[in-house]
Amino acid sequence: MQGDRRLLGYVLSGSTTSSFNFIVVEDAEDDVAEGQYVIVDPDGPQPIIGVVEELSYYHEFYEEGDVWTEAIRKKSKPPATVARQYMKGRVSIIGVPRDGQVVPPGRPPRAGAEVKSVLGRDLAPVFSHDPSDPNVPEHLLPIGSLYGYPGDELKAFLDLRSITMHMAVIGTTGSGKTNTVSVLIEELGGKKGVDTGIAKLPVTIPMIIIDINADYIPYYENPDNVPSYTMVYRLVSKTSRAWKERARHGPRSELRPILLDLNVFDHNELAELIVSLYKGKPDESTVLQESYLRYKLNKEVLKKESVLVGGDYNELFRSRRVFDALLRSIDRDTSKEGGYPVYRATAEAVKRQLEKFYNLLHEYELIPQYSEEHLVLGREFIDEVTDPSKPSLVIVDLSVDGFPGHLEAKQFVVFYLSKLLYNMFVEYRSRAKGEEDRRVLLFAMEEAQNFVPNLAQYSIGASLSRRELMTIATQGRKFGLSLLLITQRPIYVDPVVMSMMNTFIIHRVPAFDVKFVQQVTGGLPKSVSKGLTTMEKGRAIIVGQMNPNPHPTIARVRRRRPPPK
């Protein structure tokens, strides 16, 4: 692409400052493609850069009702060489390059002006970097090449300075969305310095990913594919096959059990969690139950009633002896000598809720034993993996091999992690004295519809993690906590949360979801949206804050790297 610009055609009459049509010259008809960038009059006073949105072909002998219709019907083809025939392209204007940026054109391109192929340097004002230059600035992340160009001549980028504004990768099964997330992991795992807009990191962006289908376990097994991450952790249930086998993969990979510290909650949050876990959706009957449970879980009340001397919620739900003491104290409240007036029906409901919570914790062995407290997925662990000087990649494996069990239990794990991360990143922000102290984390989530569902479209009963993820979506960006939602059905994801995503990488989507995608992205050009349901695997449309181009970028995402030999 660093040679001469190739003549592609000539501008037709009727051009405007937003678009124009051009006739394609014959020897370029096989090379022009939708999604290609072009430049008009590159050596003139107002060179204009645009992107080909649509191609059409005209042949005067093959029009409906043409004089040749009957001959064609009789299988007698007319002499094609004497007919008027041509290919026409429609171009959406991006702007005029000026002082390192693109600005709106002051006038439309003139009829007859030459339309030529672009060189990498022509697109430097569009992408804030020459896409053919192998020396890539630290704020840009290459994920593939621009669609419509052979090989990797012109790269497609994401601008990491907007990564804290949240992003979504969407596409049907087999469209390439998991490969795109894998490429994102690999590119971040190869960085040596990142400018995220709110902090300049010395290495790369730490990442935690909720892995539902074991798609990202290869990075735990082969950490050499992500060399910038100090450690790659795989977190699994102690009841899983992965934990029982405990395969080792070298000094930079570590398998850890999913062990939770309930002390990250206060008594109000814990009571709300327990009631929601039992009821699914709160209703009027839960008001008294939750109020009573808040009282019983208050650490001062637990101490006064001699249930829990140390005030440790882990101990309360780890030990059956201590837990039974809590249940007996509830029974006393319903007796004549009870200290807290409560209806027996309310007390019995609260006991059932506590039993369900206790059983879930023990079924999946989520509460640490005394010897395991150093392995807890808690504050110290988050401190370690988000350290800007030695960032880690954490794969929370909720697949069949990593966390066998029902969705409700997986939602609980995501709820816990979301709550912990948000609270800690609020603290990090308040303690930061300058940009060098800021922490950033990319929190990615496969099958996002299961954790932050659109209940109007996708009713899945309990949705414990939904509220916490909504909080991160609306407020997390200012604290450096960034969401990456991955889903094959965007319409099933909460629309408020999806509207908070400021970057979208869109692969092929179902026809039923096209209107929703249009809404949450703020609208796509007609030429782009018409192909959403038919795009081939690996083709993606990038729109939003992380797209360096003000126009939607059509990219061919590269393939994820194979395991090293």
DSSP string, 371-392: GGGGG-BSHHHHHHHT-TTS-E
pLDDT score at 217: 95
Of 110, 127, 144, which one is at a domain's C-terminal end? 127
CB 114 within 8 A of CB 125: no
Of 345, 363, 381, which one is at a domain's C-terminal end? 363
Lowest mean pLDDT among 2-6, 378-382, 543-547: 2-6
* Average pLDDT along the chain: 90
Is beta strand 85-98 parallel, antiparallel or unpaired with respect to 19-24? antiparallel
Average pLDDT (38-59) is 91
Is residue 339 domain-shared with residue 203, that is, in the same domain? no
Q: How far is CA 521 from CA 149, 167, 197, in A?
A: 26, 11, 22
Q: Where in the sequence is the domain holding 340, given as residue range(s)?
A: 263-363
Task: Render pLDDT for 507-541 as a digit per residue (tens, 0 to 9).
Answer: 999 888 888 888 888 777 777 788 888 889 999 99
Is residue 337 domain-shared with residue 432, that is, in the same domain? no
Task: Render pLDDT for 338-376 as a digit per residue (tens, 0 to 9).
Answer: 667 888 889 999 999 999 999 999 999 999 988 888 899
Ramachandran angles phi, psi of 128, nearest 5°: 60, 20
pLDDT score at 1: 41
Task: Render pLDDT for 254-270 as a digit per residue (tens, 0 to 9).
Answer: 999 999 999 989 999 89
Is residue 460 domain-shared with residue 394, that is, in the same domain? yes
Q: Please say if the pLDDT value at position 310 is more than 80.
A: no
Is residue 234 domain-shared with residue 104, that is, in the same domain? no
- Strand locations in 60-107 (E): 85-98, 101-103
Q: Please say if the pLDDT value at position 15 is more than 60.
A: yes
3-state secondary structure of 426: helix
141 or 100, which is more confident:
141
CB 58 within 8 A of CB 85: yes
Q: Is residue 112 part of a domain?
A: yes
CB 389 within 8 A of CB 206: no
% of the chain surpassing 70 pLDDT: 97
pLDDT score at 82: 76
Average pLDDT (233-259) is 92
Is residue 162 domain-shared with residue 238, that is, in the same domain? yes
pLDDT score at 277: 83
Task: Render pLDDT for 400-421 as a digit per residue (tens, 0 to 9).
Answer: 999 998 888 999 999 999 999 9
Average pLDDT (295-313) is 87
CB 146 within 8 A of CB 476: no
* Amino acid (1-letter code) at residue 458: Y
Is residue 282 domain-shared with residue 247, that is, in the same domain? no
Is residue 389 domain-shared with residue 459, that is, in the same domain? yes
- Counting the structural domains of the chain, the total is 3
Q: Is residue 54 part of a domain?
A: yes
Is residue 223 domain-shared with residue 248, that is, in the same domain? yes
Task: Render pLDDT for 229-239 as a digit per residue (tens, 0 to 9).
Answer: 999 999 999 99
Q: Is residue 165 part of a domain?
A: yes
Q: Please say if the pLDDT value at position 381 is more than 70.
A: yes
Residue from 330, 267, 333 nearest 294 by CA: 267
Is residue 76 domain-shared with residue 17, that is, in the same domain? yes
Q: Please say if the pLDDT value at position 2 is more than 60.
A: no
Residue 317 CB neighbours (<10 A): 22
% of the chain surpassing 90 pLDDT: 61
CA–CA separation, 318 and 315 (whole Å): 5
CA–CA separation, 370 and 392 (whole Å): 26
CB 495 within 8 A of CB 509: no
pLDDT score at 564: 67
Q: Is residue 44 part of a domain?
A: yes
pLDDT score at 483: 97
Q: Is residue 443 part of a domain?
A: yes
Average pLDDT (211-227) is 95
Token pair listed for 487: 């889903």
Is residue 440 domain-shared with residue 552, that is, in the same domain? yes
Q: Is residue 76 part of a domain?
A: yes
Residue 82 CB neighbours (<10 A): 9
Of 363, 381, 415, which one is at a domain's C-terminal end? 363
Helix 344-363 with 407-431: angle, nearest 10 deg: 90
Is residue 551 domain-shared with residue 480, that is, in the same domain? yes
pLDDT score at 457: 85
Lowest mean pLDDT among 91-95, 161-165, 251-255, 529-533: 529-533
**If pLDDT is split at 50, 70 and 90, which confidence band does 334 have?**
confident
* Amino acid (1-letter code) at residue 349: A
Q: Is residue 283 part of a domain?
A: yes
Residue from 542, 560, 557, 556 nearest 127 by CA: 542
- Strand locations in 345-480 (E): 392-397, 441-445
Residue from 195, 201, 124 nearest 163 by CA: 195
3-state secondary structure of 355: helix
Q: Is residue 146 part of a domain?
A: no
Residue whose structure tokens are 């709550």: 419
Q: What is the CATH number of the domain that holds 416?
A: 3.40.50.300
Q: How far is CA 362 from CA 49, 239, 311, 326, in A?
A: 62, 10, 20, 17
Is residue 277 domain-shared with residue 325, that is, in the same domain? yes
